[in-house]
Amino acid sequence: MTPTPKPQVSPNNGTETKCQERVSKDCTVKSLTLRSGSTIAEYTLISSSGDEKLFDLAKGEMLNQLAATYPVDFVNVEPITTSVEPEKIIAGVPVTLTCGPPPTILGSDLTVEWTRSGTLLDTVTPSQDRTSEYTIPKFLKIHDGTYVCKMKRNDGATFTQSLTLTSKAAPQITVNPVRGTVQCGNTVTVKCSVNTGYQVQFKDLTSSTGLEIQYDYKAPDGCTERDETITCQVTTNPQDYEIITLTLIEAVVCKAQDGFSAGSVGFEAVASCEKGKVGTITAVCKADGTYGDVQDNCVLEVIHNLLSESEALDVVTLPAFLEELKGATINNSQTITDSPATISAMVQIFANIGRRAGSLKITISEESTKNILESAGILTSDAAKGSWDKLNSDSKNESSENKNFSSSFLSAFEGITANVVNKPLNINTTHILFTKTNFTNNFKVDFNSSVEIDIPEAGGSRQSIAVMLFASMDNVLPARESVNTTSSFINGKVVLIKPESDISNISIAFDVLNETLGKPKCVFWDFDLLEGLGGWSDEGCAFVLNENGTV
């Protein structure tokens, strides 16, 4: 162990002299010590003066003397400053952290390291005023942690500031009805609630506040048909609100039922989701007095929150996010597979993972890849088939964006696969098998005795190939082709093959799932087919043979 060098100056005497000059004649330094083998100085200044500015000058003199001889670590007891008061950080707001400036003796030739809970976030140089900023454009739960700013000098001297930040969940307001009716002369009860930590009130109607409130709205006698709106807002954040729309009507055909208010023929009622879900449920009043055309757009709240977080993922937050996504998916598997809206939200999450990894050049580790496969696999299970059938055939969703979630799901994995760590991998989960292999010249592998891939010649150069084999992707992808018929069936495992570079010749052998079906075709999923809807195409593929249950 290298012994601690003796001081070339006396910090105790020098500091006391400067303290008496700067603060008061009776200023003394009590027990200024340097810990053995350390650069930590402990001291106490005692004076009859109460002038804090003079004390700061005296402390500065002491630090300057120490820093002239030792590589000192200046640990600032004042925390990092923030653009938003720490206790007022609500999930979703931008937050800028500022540290410094360090003592002048540290100089300006510094390197700044920003870390969160021990993980490096950024390495920069300080600005001209010797401060440094780090900005989180959208502060979410994934950004909670202890932030440390460390400014380093070449000789090892440092200046450190830190701050622990925890975001508060954003207000989640639920109103019921979202859209309803009230018959002229009658009264309807409207309700509003918010998550714990907030209070709500009906704007300009009543002073009552609470986690859950209600109000009886009475329509005037002899009214004409028109819309009235009621605003429910957070008391401390009026910019967070939800609006209830009530249509005044003369006659009722559909009575209030299943959470929908009474209505006239053709009226579209909108109700809130049950607790733990986010979104709305809509239904149309029919001439027979019942509600039909029900559209359930409710998303499991935990998945809704993860969707928001997925839009701000980075190299630091991705691994923990994928752990949380896997846990949420496994713990809520039945609720997820039964909900087309929640599956749609998860498809968007996977798309965001691939997009963020690609744009930020994030390498997805083996463990993170496994978490992705376990989360996504549940969406391909037999339990999810009914929800996928509804998504793929929903006639009310006219836009391509709403109708091609199955295509988007597959596309997301092309983006994710491109960013998986480039090393040999073999990850086998319940619903998805993923391998990554390095090879030279040729490649031939049988995957789970259901798909065999043969590349006879790859140009002689060493490259890698990623293969993702889905056990039941036929639950997700419809069998539509360029003609968009429903007479075809997917009769083999779906496999995603992504080589490192282009390959001109590849043979794939599939075990047939149902040997009673005939006329096999070799097809691939074309994302551009049917005006971006996506479908199976045989362009560039050639059927070779069909024998012994193998195509």
The CATH number assigned to the domain with range 81-165 reads 2.60.40.10
- Number of helices (H), then strands (E), belonging to the chain: the values are 11, 31
* Tokens matching residue 201: 């009130």
Give the pLDDT band (50/70/90) at residue 429: very high
Residue 177, preceding peptide bond in cis (omega within 30° of 0): yes
* Tokens matching residue 66: 């120490």
State pLDDT tens for residues 447-493: 777 778 788 776 667 788 888 999 888 898 887 776 655 577 776 78
State pLDDT tens for residues 217-267: 999 888 888 999 999 999 998 899 999 999 998 888 999 888 898 988 999
Domain ranges (residues) in the chain: 11-70, 81-165, 175-297, 301-537
What's the pLDDT score for residue 393? 81
What's the pLDDT score for residue 306? 95
Highest mean pLDDT range out of 103-107, 133-137, 502-506?
Answer: 133-137
The residue ranking higher by pLDDT, 193 or 550, is 193
Strands of 288-362 (E only): list them: 291-296, 299-300
Same fold, 81-165 and 175-297: yes
Other C-beta atoms lying within 10 Å of the C-beta of residue 241: 16
**Cβ partners under 8 Å of residue 148, min gap 6:** 114, 115, 116, 160, 161, 162
Average pLDDT, the chain: 84
State pLDDT tens for residues 495-537: 888 888 777 788 888 887 777 677 777 888 888 888 888 888 8
Dihedral pair phi/psi, residue 391, rounded to 5° = -65, -40
d(CA 349, CA 303): 9
d(CA 366, CA 389): 32
Dihedral pair phi/psi, residue 386, rounded to 5° = -60, -40
d(CA 301, CA 298): 9
The CATH number assigned to the domain with range 175-297 reads 2.60.40
Residue 499, SS3 per DSSP: strand
**Cβ partners under 8 Å of residue 263, min gap 6:** 180, 181, 247, 249, 252, 253, 254, 269, 285, 291
Cβ 535 vs Cβ 501: under 8 Å:
no
Torsion angle of C-alpha atoms 416, 418, 423, 426, degrees rounded to 10: 50
Residue of 348, 361, 351 lying closest to 314 (CA atoms) = 361
Torsion angle of C-alpha atoms 170, 174, 180, 181, degrees rounded to 10: -110
Cβ 388 vs Cβ 475: under 8 Å:
yes
What's the pLDDT score for residue 522? 81
Predicted structure pTM score: 0.81
Torsion angle of C-alpha atoms 332, 335, 341, 344, degrees rounded to 10: 40
* Tokens matching residue 409: 């799901």
The CATH number corresponding to 301-537 among 3.40.50, 2.60.220, 1.10.3470, 2.60.120 equals 2.60.220
Strands of 35-185 (E only): list them: 41-46, 73-75, 81-82, 95-99, 111-116, 119-124, 132-136, 145-152, 158-165, 174-176, 179-183
d(CA 32, CA 55): 16
Cα dihedral 339, 343, 345, 346 sign: positive
Residue 81 has pLDDT above 50, yes or no: yes
State pLDDT tens for residues 245-258: 999 988 889 998 88
DSSP 347-360: HHHHHHHHHHHHHT
CA 151, distance to chain mean position in Å, is 30
